[in-house]
Amino acid sequence: MAKMDKHNVVEKDFFITALKEEARSALEQVGSSTDPEALIKSVLHEIEALAPRPEGQEDRSDDEIRRQVRACLLKAAYATRPYCMRCGTCCTKGSPTLLADDIVLFNRDLLKPSDVITVRKGEWVRAHARDELEPTEKELIKIREIPGSTSCIFFEPKGQNCSIYDARPLQCRQQECWDPQDCDEIRDQAVLNRAALLSETRPLWDIILRHEERCSCEELARVMAKLGATRGQAVEELLELLRFDQHVRSFIKENFRLAAEAMDFFLGRSLSQAVEPYGLRVVEEPDGSFLLTMLDDAGDQ
């Protein structure tokens, strides 16, 4: 019996040491000077509730239990630092969605069309909370991200700074990474859309509406479903959409003298990009025609 007690003491000491290391790591991550033991005490009841259940009742793996404990400590660590220290964590996890009140940033020329993109209603985007693709329920305008990353274009990695911090969008001001919480309150606020910014700019707005009517994400989804159902026989219908989308982009750029990089704001992402979630890659040939390939065939995953 004494031998079993000694074994239990060793296991307990190891657990306490490991827990302190996890707490120290969480505090370092958020830049807090709180004592690790004090952090553990502040969430001791939550950690105890995460302990392995009796044999036959536990359906979590050891790794999952450790992840839950880490998440608990990290949330508590953020709460010990109730202010923004401009660490850049938020800036690298996706660019902000602009809210209705952010229209002033355009009115004051703090944001330009080339700084943002339009995510059209029904477009497939990655939901960061679940890391899954899902269609948007309404049109959104987002700050661009650095190509190949999820970092906002205004984030400066060298100095861990936001280059427009004093004029940053409302969502950035409201988000408190040091106090993780459900973002429904932010998500449910009125978002900025193209109509609020462009509806008075006729005839440009009329062309955008025509493009949206002909090349909506709903229409693309219908054509893609038909393409699958007919085993590729409806490919000409898809190619016609791609041609119309490309034509409108070229027309607007040339006739309104707009920068090419601003097209993602005025018309949203090109349909050539929008078909990728459906498993297709579109290649534009030198003569202006389109070649469709499967993403896997092109070496993509």
Q: Model confidence over 98-157: pLDDT tens digits?
A: 999 999 999 999 999 999 999 999 998 876 555 677 889 999 999 999 999 999 999 998
Structure confidence by residue, pLDDT tens digits, 54-96: 888 888 888 998 899 999 998 888 888 767 777 788 899 889 9
Q: Give the pLDDT confidence score for residue 254 in this predicted structure.
A: 94
Q: How confident is the model at residue 9 (pLDDT cuts 50, 70, 90)?
A: very low
Average pLDDT, whole number, for the chain? 86
CA distance 149 to 162: 16
- Is pTM beyond 0.85? Reply is no
Question: Other C-beta atoms within 10 Å of 299: how many?
Answer: 8
Please write down the HEC assignment for all residues of the chain.
CHHHHHHHHHHHHHHHHHHHHHHHHHHHHHCCCCCHHHHHHHCHHHHHHCCCCCCCCCCCCHHHHHHHHHHHHHHHHHHCCCCCCCCCCHHHCCCCECEHHHHHHHHCCCCCHHHEEEECCCCEEEECCCCEEEECCCCEEEECECCCCCCECCEECCCCEECCHHHCCHHHHHCCCCCCCCCHHHHCCCECCHHHHHCCCCCHHHHHHHHHHHHCHHHHHHHHHHHHHCCCCCHHHHHHHHHHHHHHHHHHHHHCCCCHHHHHHHCCCCHHHHCHHHCEEEEECCCCCEEEEECCCCCCC
Cα-based distances in Å from 156 to 152, 159, 165, 220, 288? 9, 6, 11, 36, 37
Angle between helices 62-79 and 2-30 (to 10 degrees): 50
As a whole-number percent, the residues of the chain with pLDDT over 70 amount to 87
CA distance 104 to 119: 20
Question: Among residues 81, 67, 11, 77, which one has the least CA distance to residue 43?
Answer: 77
Main-chain phi, psi angles of 23, to 5 degrees = -65, -40
Residues β-bridged to residue 135: 124
Residue 8 has pLDDT above 70, yes or no: no
- CA torsion angle 84 86 87 88 (round to 10): 110
Q: Is the peptide bond before 277 cis (omega within 30 degrees of 0)?
A: no
The number of residues in the chain equals 301
Structure confidence by residue, pLDDT tens digits, 234-287: 899 999 999 999 999 999 999 999 999 999 999 999 999 999 989 999 988 888
- For residue 223, count CB atoms less than 10 angstroms from its CB and return exposed for 0-12, middle for 13-18, buried for 19 or more: buried
